[in-house]
Structure 1
Amino acid sequence: MAFSELLDRVGGLGRYQALQTVALMLPIMWLVAQTMLENFSAAVPSHRCWVSLLDNSTSQVSVLDPETLLAVSIPPGPNQGPHQCRRFRQPQWQLLDPNTTATNWSEAATEPCLDGWVYDRSTFTATIVTKWDLVCDSQALKPMAQTIYLAGMMVGASFSGPASDRFGRRLVLSWSYLQMAMSGTVAALVPTFPLYCLFRFLVACALASVMMNTSTLLMEWTSAQARVLMMTLNSLGFSLGQVLTSAVAYGVRDCSMLQLLVSAPFFLCFVYSWFAFGFTFYGLVMDLQGLGSNIFLLQVLIGVVDIPAKAGSLLLLGCLGRRPLQALSLVLSGACILANTLVPRELGALRSALAVMGLGCMGSAFTCITIYNGELFPTVLRMRAVGLGQMAARGGACLGPLVRLLSMHGPSLPLLVYGTVPVLSGLATLLLPETRNLPLPDTIQDVQNQAVKKAAHRTRGCPVLRSTQL
């Protein structure tokens, strides 16, 4: 008798499953905070070059107001505000003449920010951008840090599957909790940017393992009738994590303290652990500044919209099946993102609404894929197959932040790429088999038997012409 059949007989939705779901959902909420962290800890505040006239406490010029001193010290930037990356070599006092125009100074009269930058700290007291000056010529280091983090998720996914099959799901999950807690804590305290990237990489490796083992444990220890409910509840943990992230970041505006706060709970998860998507999503959701001005509200809206989207998928999975819902969610997500390429930037509220809707559809697709992925493969190959799927997803996710660099060639190019990928993926989903109401296969033979039964069902009732010999 297969284990899934035995579980159905003895009861696959009891006290053990309830405790297991609670114990596994709580870390998932904090796990989301680790991924969404850099929306806040790596936010880029307004900045300008440090200049002696304004920022040197021993400066003798005090009769002029700060706006006047700023005008003679910093050239205007592309947005008509103070230039963020250049300053005048010498104060341009002639600019105080009302008859003077912008042509009275040239690029040769300016220089880079040789003495550092002054940052607006009204929203965030400290971010990794202000801590290590990841602006101007170093601005590409921020998406590189995000890519390194997502590469860690890809590496973690490649090792987690084989390790879980060899040492067991629970042992690997417990180790992953400990690794996330320790690496995240060290990342909050390191003095240099390369070390920060290294320990964030280690956090991501463990994070991928937690995601994979959590979904697999819930899948394997729940009856077929309750499996969709459990996986939807697990998926809702990601939605609640979005809201939790914004709440924590709103209260803690220092990047080091924020990193420490979202890492420390995993020590607790490690203690109680015996109880126990890719390119487009991470490309958009790790750059909320590009979607709107109020990143705190956007983070909350993404989580809030995610909840009904995933709850609705619970009903649609039973009505439509896995394959149609997966395809529909991905295509709708891509359509919302592509529609944003046609909306003027002045309509910020509409652009934010379309982006949130697209991410909500992506949340529905995430719920579906966590169920679908586990049902497609037999137990003997499930973790390896899930690991390969995670590697593919994290490989795409690694490219997500880098795609934003295309905006230098055209502001709509990143959205065009982010929207096209899920549409093509959704159409490709139609090539997969349907797994609704089928038992989890234990062996490769079980998968083959299911295929044979489907083929027999399709040909049932069809007349067969036979040749008989007299």
Structure 2
Amino acid sequence: MAFHKLLDQVGGLGRFQILQLIFLCISSLIVYSHILLENFTAAVPGHRCWVHILDNDTISANGTGLLRQDALLRISIPLDSNLEPEKCRRFLHPQWQLLHLNGTFSNTSELDTEPCVDGWVYDRSSFSSTIVTEWDLVCQSQSLKSMAKFSFMAGMLMGSIISGHLSDRWLAESARWLIITNKPEEGLKELRRAARRNGVKNAGDTLTMEVLRSVMQEELEAAKSKPPACDMFRIPNLRKRICLLSFVRFANCMSFYGLTLHLQHLGTNVFLFQILFGIVTLPANYIALLALNHLGRRISQILFMLLVGIFFLTIPSVPQDMQTLRLVLSTLGVGFSSAALLCSFTHGNELMPTVIRATASGIIGIIGNIGAALTPLLMILTVYSPHLPWIVFAVFSILAGLVIILLPETRNRPLPDSLQDVENKKKGSRKAEQEDISIKVTQF
């Protein structure tokens, strides 16, 4: 556990690390914006059935052109329970008698209606064109919109699997990982490069192979017997960690993307929702860092996940006409979900030993992306009940918060380097704390 000494020699948190962080942030911003586009490219504008007497440009030739649009709409489209024009049905024949109701509406449910056999008319005031208007993904075909979102998220999942191997061509490897995986020469090269970027002079004189071997002696000895990736599932304690972390990440991603990908299910002004969702993530992540530093990894995640579950149960119960309250609750829900996701990343990385940290993090990330990809499919459940998807999100969030209790705390604890560190964690935890009491490698 002496790698922190080498980091001190290369300048600690300097220009090299900051530049890498900036480049990673830029790439993340570019990718994330494409995900958010689904809220606009797949938006469902207001719509109703196309009606011959109302929408045919040549209709004025038979005399009905003298009637106003609202009158023609009244005799052509039935009203729903909110006294708004039906979106998926029209009268089989024009109901001329409705013109004489003088603003009062009788029960029109008994009149003959039919589906929108001739297509739909869309309100293009906010969205001139979306995949919904192009392919008529409404009414009986509304579930296909969720399938389109699922296809996008599934493509992102496959891309993360394939591109993970390609990323090694452009990203600098972790010096610690290179040393632990029995590549000390390459690790030393990365350390020297970091030192030069940080402005440390004479790095070649202080960072030598002899210094590296003396500082990292125990880690290099353990690296001589590099374990295969399948060994992570043979050790009960490590297998338990991976399974629990995968479930937590699955629930985290499901709750986060369940909110951010379905703005129209939350309120009418998707533009305002998107702006506030983007703004709230900044203070939410800062609050998450404070919680991780003061409350620890487990308590922070439990708190945030339980709050997310509560908000998922609360939002659907708020009436649609109370848009301000729905906006506030949804924004807070996204903030807590974002904070929980940050805590999950931190806790997961600190629980995995260095020799398989990249592989284990990749597996956990894939499970999380599966949860994100499933969120559009869960929204199909709104056909049966508008509250059902949110209840599912809430159940997974609350269960994830309870599952975290089974994971060990990592705040102010040394990072595990080998599989043996995890295997013998319970037996030698007290002894390790006494020997390494001065090493606080996981404190922010």
Same fold (TM > 0.5): yes
Match of 1:337 in 2: 312
Which structure 2 residues correspond to residues 100-115 of structure 1 after superposition, within 5 A?
Answer: 102-103=106-107, 106=110, 109-115=112-118
Aligned counterpart, 2:429? 454
Give the distance between the partners of 1:350 and 1:101, measured in 2 at CA: 31
Equivalent positions of 1:193-232 (< 5 A) are none
Identity of aligned residues (%): 46
CA contact (8 A) 1:309 1:361 kept: yes
Q: Please say if residues 4 and 440 of structure 1, whose CA atoms lie closer than 8 Å, have aligned partners that are also in contact.
A: no
Match of 1:384 among 354, 359, 378: 359
Matches within 5 A, 1:298-317: 298-317=273-292
Distance 1:362 1:222, change over 3 A: farther
C-alpha separation in 2, matches of 1:38 and 1:428: 31
Distance 1:104 1:117, change over 3 A: closer
Q: Which of 267, 275, 281 is matched with 2:256 structurally?
A: 281
Tell me, yes or no, if structure 1 residue 146 matches structure 2 residue 169: no
- Which residue in 1 is equivalent to 2:170? 170
Look up the match of 1:323: 298
CA root-mean-square deviation: 3.0
Q: In 2, distance between residues paired with 1:323 and 1:459? A: 22
**2:125 aligned to 112, 117, 122, which one?**
122
Check the 8 A contact 1:12/1:222 in 2, yes or no: no
TM-score, normalised with respect to structure 2: 0.72
Matching residue of 1:36: 36
1:346 to partner: Cα distance:
4.2
Matched, 1:348 2:323: yes
Q: 1:407 maps to what in 2? A: 382
Tell me, yes or no, if the aligned pair for 1:313 and 1:364 is still in contact at 8 Å: yes
Name the SS of the counterpart of 2:406 in structure 1.
coil
Specify the code of the residue in structure 2 equivalent to 1:33.
S
The reply to whether residue 394 of structure 1 matches residue 369 of structure 2 is yes
Q: Is the 8 A contact 1:159 1:387 kept in 2?
A: no
Partner of residue 22, structure 2: 22
AA partner of residue 152 (structure 1): G
Give the TM-score normalised by structure 1.
Answer: 0.68
8 A contact 1:13–1:222 mirrored in 2: no
| Greater Cα offset, 443-452 or 9-18 | 443-452
The verdict on how the C-alpha distance between 1:278 and 1:88 changes in structure 2, with shifts beyond 3 A counting, is same
Distance 1:422 1:452 in 2: 32
Partner Cα distance (2:326, 2:86) in 1: 27
- The separation in 1 between residues aligned to 2:139 and 2:317, in whole angstroms, is 29
Q: State the SS of the aligned residue for 1:278.
A: helix
What is the CA deviation profile of residues 389-416 of structure 1, one whole-angstrom value per residue up to 9, with x for unaligned ones? 1222122223322323333333333222
Per the TM alignment, residue 446 of structure 1 is displaced from its structure 2 partner at its CA by 4.4
3-state SS, counterpart of residue 313 of structure 1: helix
Cα deviation for residue 329 of structure 1 reads 1.3
User: Does the 8 Å contact 2:16/2:194 carry over to 1?
Assistant: no
Distance 1:341 1:425 in 2: 21
Structure 2 CA distance for aligned equivalents of residues 68 and 344 of structure 1: 30
**Deviation for aligned residue 1:123:** 0.8
Pair 1:93 & 2:96 matched: yes
TM-superposed deviation, 1:126 = 0.9
**1:345, CA displacement in angstroms?**
4.4
Distance 1:2 1:458 in 2: 15
Structure 1: runs of 5 or more not aligned: 174-220, 224-276, 461-470
Which residue of structure 1 aligns with residue 407 of structure 2?
432
- 1:302·1:356 contact (CA, 8 Å) conserved in 2? yes
Query: Quick check: 344-353 or 449-458, which moved more?
Result: 449-458
How many residues align structurally? Answer: 356
Matched letter for residue 354 of structure 1: L
Mapped to 2, the partners of 1:119 and 1:29 lie a distance apart of 32
Mapped to 1, the partners of 2:304 and 2:137 lie a distance apart of 36
Q: Equivalent residue for 2:395?
A: 420
Distance 1:151 1:172 in 2: 28
- Structure with bigger gyration radius: 2
Alignment correspondent of 1:367:
342
Work out the CA distance in 2 between the residues paired with 1:145 and 1:104.
Answer: 35
Deviation at 1:344, TM superposition (A): 4.3
Gaps of 5+ in 2: 174-192, 196-251, 436-444
1:361 shift after superposition: 0.9
From the superposition, tell whether residues 389 and 157 of structure 1 become closer, same or farther in structure 2 (CA, over 3 Å): farther
Separation (CA, whole Å) in 2 of partners of 1:343 and 1:57: 42
